[in-house]
Amino acid sequence: MAPPTPSSHRPRKRRKPDSSNGTVTLNKATKQEQPTFPLVAFLWPARTANVSQWIIIPIILMVAFLFRWCTSLWPYSGYQKPPMHGDFEAQRHWMELTIHLPMTHWYFHNLEWWGLDYPPLTAYHSWILGQIGHFVNPSWFALYLSQGMDDMDLKVFMRASAIVSEYLVYIPAAVLCVRQLAKLHNINAWESSIALTAILMQPATILIDHGHFQYNTVMLGFMLATTASMLAGRPLWSCVFFVATLGFKQMALFYAPAIAAYLAGSCLFPRLDTPRLFGIAIMTLASFAVLFLPLLLGTAFDTYRSVPLPTDAVLPPPPMSALPWQVAEKAWYYPYLVQLTQAVHRIFPFARGLFEDKVANIWCAVHSSGIHKLHGYDSTLLSRAALALTLASISPPCLLIFLKPRKELLPYAFATTAWGFFLCSYQVHEKNVLLPLLPMTLLLATEGGMKPATRAWVGYANILACWTMFPLLVRDELRIPYFVLTGLWAYLMGLPPCSISAYTASYEDGGLSIVSKLIQLSTYAGMVAWHVAEAFVTPPAEKPDLWVVANVCLGAAGFGICYLWCLWRLLQESGILSDLGLDKKSVNEKKAQ
């Protein structure tokens, strides 16, 4: 065999990539560099060969696609589960109703069978997908006849639509956002690629969107685009994207206070910037106008054709009655106002309960653990309490980002605010945990993001979040994908239960403090023990929900700690502490929480 002669082609090493970000460790025995966790090993060949981003990114995207599509092979929520089926049927039904009904009926159509209760962008998205699906096979979306359909080809179409939507919105936004973060934090392209892979392989997102079936990544993608625009110093674009985020799913309100605070702060500090303030206000209003424009145009068309509203429509919609002035039915703008208020009425259902099902937030944990039963209280009182607690939890991060509107703080501020909402607010689903997870996972792409401490915290939140969704995933028969994807991600990131390497680093080397280590490792132990118990021990007859309740309580506690950690990091990074004269030493002490 001939010896390798590197001179025959272009040189392999152009420059030594700087590996400050915790991806490379020096083996003390052999004096050789080695990958810190397995994900780095997979990109290792790209490091030494200095491969172009035009090759690495497509490969990452194809691998991410493969795992998503293979998850899609598994059952979806409500598969062959009459009478109501599940989220899959909801999304399919929206396609059915948007392509067949006049636009004025969209928000009035039968609420009982998965009525449309998402903002207009979801409706338009459903309309487009419905049109394409109708072109392929009209029976999939035949009005009324197609309800509860579980045709295999329909599954392929729906799964493909989720992936295509994700690859059109979430994926480009993620690439751009990671690139902006790399620019901001001066991180080399190779380490950014590692972070990008870790973000794209987030198990919770894959499981919910491609297993359970939803289009969360579209909303999260717009959020990433918002973040990327802010990082790129384009606040006007961020307004457009954030309106799109909100317009796709109202749950994006979790981020809204932090975004408003940042944008407002960036107009006021270091000095008042009036044109920017006006620009932001006008752009936001204009975006909202564009968001509702198709609905209003559709209303105009239906009014022109004199299409009547459904017979069971309740007029006027409740928010309209709450308007301070009386609207005459003869007024030209009456039909438009009816549509807008009905949409708002559907999107924000104040009449529902404090929490839905079992979700790992404060209310559900307090209620179901038996510390204090909440069903005796008046619902207005409870919703006020929820509002007060939410405000209390989100005001510190919002205040901080308002006073220190720095780009480096954005992921922390978003994550803290979203955790606050998730833990304390009204009407939260277990799936909403994706919202705080996204900005928190983005931390991997920031400076020191893959050093043991940050990696462990980000991993902790992600794995805990998947674990709290386990009861939901079991209902969808997604037990195996749950174990595979969560296990794979934990393995790739070098985290428990696959490895404890992130916990062996000392605090001085960028590791965790003792208290954090204890908290995290004991939570992991709890999760593992819970899985064993859930699999082999039947709960006592008088407490059939014991395991679910245990899941909720441990989850809520863990998420609470994640909230505190994000808040603490935000406080640390903002520099407020040193402004106030608190020195580094006290910082270290407080870090232990």
Partner 1 sequence: MAEYPTLLQTSLVATALKVLLWPAYRSTDFEVHRNWLALTHSLPLREWYHEKTSQWTLDYPPYFAYFEYTLSQLGRFADENMLHVSNLGYDSWNTIFFQRATVIVTEAVLIYALYLFIQSSPAASKKQSHAAAASILLSPGLLIIDHLHFQYNGFLYGILILSIVLARKKSGLLASGFVFAALLCLKHIYLYLAPAYFVYLLRGYCLGPRSIFDIRFGNCVKLGLGIGAVFALAFGPFVYYGQMEQVFSRLFPFSRGLCHAYWAPNVWALYSFCDRVLIYGKIATMKVPLKDGADLRLTAAPYLKLAIDRDAVNSVTRGLVGDTSFAVLPNISPRMTFILTLAAQIVSHPLKNAPRQQKLKPNIQTHQPALIKLFFTPTWHNFVSTLTLCGYASFLFGWHVHEKAILLVIIPFSLLALTDRRYLGAFRPLAVSGHVSLFPLLFTAMEGPIKVAYTVTWLVIVLLAFDWLAPASPQPRVFLLDRFALLYIAVAIPLMVYCSLVHQLVFGARYEFLPLMFVSTYSAIGVVGSWLGFLVVFFTS
| Helix spans in 322-451 (H) | 334-347, 362-368, 379-403, 410-424, 434-442
Instruction: Report the residue number, 1 or 145, with the smaller CB distance to partner 1.
Output: 1
Q: Which DSSP symbol is given to 10?
A: -
12 binds partner 1 (CB under 8 A): yes
* Number of residues that make up the chain: 593
Instruction: Report the residue number, 30 or 186, with the smaller CB distance to partner 1.
Output: 30
Q: How far apart are CB 99 and partner 1 at their closest, in Å? A: 22
What amino acid is encoded at 307 in this protein? V
Are 543 and 459 in contact by the 8 Å Cβ rule? The answer is no
Cis? peptide before 411, omega within 30° of 0:
no
72 binds partner 1 (CB under 8 A): yes
Instruction: Report the residue number, 152 or 272, with the smaller CB distance to partner 1.
Output: 152
- Total chain residues near partner 1 (CB under 8 A): 49
Burial-class residue 364 by CB neighbours within 10 Å (0-12, 13-18, 19+): buried
49 binds partner 1 (CB under 8 A): yes
- Directed axis angle between helix 120-136 and helix 274-304, to 10°? 50
Instruction: Report the residue number, 19 or 523, with the smaller CB distance to partner 1.
Output: 19
137 binds partner 1 (CB under 8 A): no
How many angstroms separate the CA atoms of 283 and 270, rounded? 22
CA-nearest of 237, 265, 254, 261 to 180 is 237
132 binds partner 1 (CB under 8 A): no
Contact track, partner 1, 209-228, x by CB under 8 A: --------------------
Stretch that binds partner 1, among 60-68, 310-318, 378-386, 390-398 (CB under 8 A): 60-68
Out of 29, 152, 535, 541, the only residue in the binding site for partner 1 (CB under 8 A) is 152
32 binds partner 1 (CB under 8 A): yes
- Directed axis angle between helix 274-304 and helix 334-347, to 10°? 110
How many angstroms separate the CA atoms of 171 and 197, rounded? 11
Q: Token pair of 541, please?
A: 């007859």
Residues 6+ away with beta carbon under 8 Å from 493: 37, 39, 198, 455, 459
Out of 19, 57, 74, 571, the only residue in the binding site for partner 1 (CB under 8 A) is 74
Instruction: Report the residue number, 103 or 163, with the smaller CB distance to partner 1.
Output: 163
Instruction: Report the residue number, 62 or 272, with the smaller CB distance to partner 1.
Output: 62
Q: Which DSSP symbol is given to 293?
A: H
431 binds partner 1 (CB under 8 A): no
336 binds partner 1 (CB under 8 A): no
**Phi, psi for residue 250 in degrees, rounded to 5:** -65, -20
Residue whose tokens read 């799913």: 249
156 binds partner 1 (CB under 8 A): yes
Burial-class residue 556 by CB neighbours within 10 Å (0-12, 13-18, 19+): buried
Q: How far apart are CB 45 and partner 1 at their closest, in Å? A: 6
Instruction: Report the residue number, 32 or 311, with the smaller CB distance to partner 1.
Output: 32
Which parts of 468-507 interact with partner 1 (CB under 8 A)? 480-481, 484-485, 487-488, 491-492
Stretch that binds partner 1, among 4-12, 174-182, 319-327, 559-567 (CB under 8 A): 4-12
For residue 455, the tally of other CB atoms under 10 A from its CB is 27
- Directed axis angle between helix 87-100 and helix 152-168, to 10°? 80
Out of 34, 578, 586, 593, the only residue in the binding site for partner 1 (CB under 8 A) is 34
Instruction: Report the residue number, 13 or 384, with the smaller CB distance to partner 1.
Output: 13
62 binds partner 1 (CB under 8 A): yes
Q: How far apart are CB 499 and partner 1 at their closest, in Å? A: 12
42 binds partner 1 (CB under 8 A): yes
How many angstroms separate the CA atoms of 51 and 56, rounded? 7
Are 255 and 410 in contact by the 8 Å Cβ rule? The answer is no
Instruction: Report the residue number, 45 or 540, with the smaller CB distance to partner 1.
Output: 45
Strand partners, 27: 32
**Interface with partner 1 by CB under 8 A: which residues?**
1-5, 8-9, 12, 30, 32, 34-35, 38, 40-42, 44-45, 49, 51, 55, 58-59, 62-63, 65-67, 69-75, 152-153, 155-156, 159-160, 480-481, 484-485, 487-488, 491-492
